[in-house]
Amino acid sequence: MAPHGRDTSPGAFPVVAGVPATGPTGRWRAVPAGRVVRPPTYREPPLSIRSQRRFTMALFDLPLEELREYRSASAEPRDFDAFWDRTLREARRHELDARFEPVDTGLSTVQVYDVTFAGFGGHPVKGWLRLPAGASQPLPLVVEFIGYGGGRGLAHEDLLWASTGRAHFVMDTRGQGSAWGGGGGTADPVGAAPAFPGYMTRGIDAPENYYYRRVFTDAVRAVETARSHPLTDAARTVVIGESQGGGISLAVGGLLPDLVAVAPDVPFLCDFPRATTLTDRHPYREIGLFLRTHRGRAEDALRTLSYFDGVHFAARGRAPALFSAALEDQTCPPSTVFAAFHAWAHRDKAIEVYDFNDHEGGGPFQEERKLRWLRAYA
């Protein structure tokens, strides 16, 4: 998702010139009385929470010290596991029907395959599989999920992971792919009751009807599809994603027990009770606007959302994980990301914190961090 600009409304505190603190993110911030906030005494945080914040400043969400302690109050449904076991069993009754068609991209170092497989309900879902050209042995596999509104893009895009010598599978997101990037090509043939424009309230009347039940099921089937190719090593599978893609990777990390690593960046779809009342930025705001019209349905909506909350999937995570959060992120507030991080069940986990960033998060700096981190796993 594209980053949003900073608040320039009357009363907002402007950034003024000053000497930066240690690291590139330090800065001075003016306060109404004209004083300059000085850096407080700083204590080095635990190694599992890496941050460069040194200055006291107005934050959208909780300060870092409180984020380290924050835990979600999201209530897990009693039948959460049974719901997802039943959902995946139903999906697996359909043949995977995975097809890999070579694409002539003009690239000399990467071979691209146009992939189709049977997702939720046996519906056809698209993807790209990218392999280093000339690969002859099974390769570590990175499966990636896409941010809100985007699609798989074009065949020649996104060559980073194949350039590392890994297989790279990108799943198209059903019904999306028309808001940014190179587009998508997967329909969502399932209808829904009246919903607010967007995807967040499609089928929100019941967990069985909710849009993300189909998406998360597609994502599990995408991993199974990628693993079915003879040049991928199923035993070295990683899932990654940013924003919505991060939320999907959390779901897959909770539903598949045999991944070697999970890397969700500024993940969406986490801690719904807090997110839906904390931020007025879309996509979470779609839920509030739906409930503004459909008065009296908040309890039912939150019950549906509880089956898709990244916090509950995180509690089932069985692989090492690298998260990232941005402290000025109003799209996926940092407390909702920390809620999923703290809930992640595997002990080998870390979170990168980008102090002065909005929803763009760490961008290429986080890519560099993941490149180094993944060497230990795949």
Q: How many C-beta neighbours within 10 Å does residue 19 have?
A: 7
Burial class (CB in 10 A: 0-12, 13-18, 19+), 274: buried
242: tokens are 């940013």
Residue tagged active-site, from 309, 329, 355, 358: 329
Give the DSSP per-residue string, 252-318: HHHH-TT-SEEEEES-SS--HHHHHHH--STTTHHHHHHHHHSTT-HHHHHHHHHTT-HHHHHTT--
| CA distance linking residue 175 with residue 325, whole number of Å | 27
243 classed as catalytic: yes
| CA distance linking residue 257 with residue 280, whole number of Å | 35
Residue tagged active-site, from 72, 74, 243, 324: 243
List all residues 6 or more positions away from 116 whose beta carbon is below 8 Å from its beta carbon.
97, 98, 99, 101, 124, 125, 126, 127
φ/ψ (deg, to 5) at 115: -110, 140
Q: To the nearest 10°, report the CA torsion of 154, 158, 164, 168.
A: -60
359 classed as catalytic: yes
Q: Tell me the CA distances in angstroms from 268 to 13, 274, 330, one per residue in order.
A: 28, 12, 11
- Of 165, 178, 171, the C-alpha closest to 219 is 171
Active site residues: 243, 329, 359
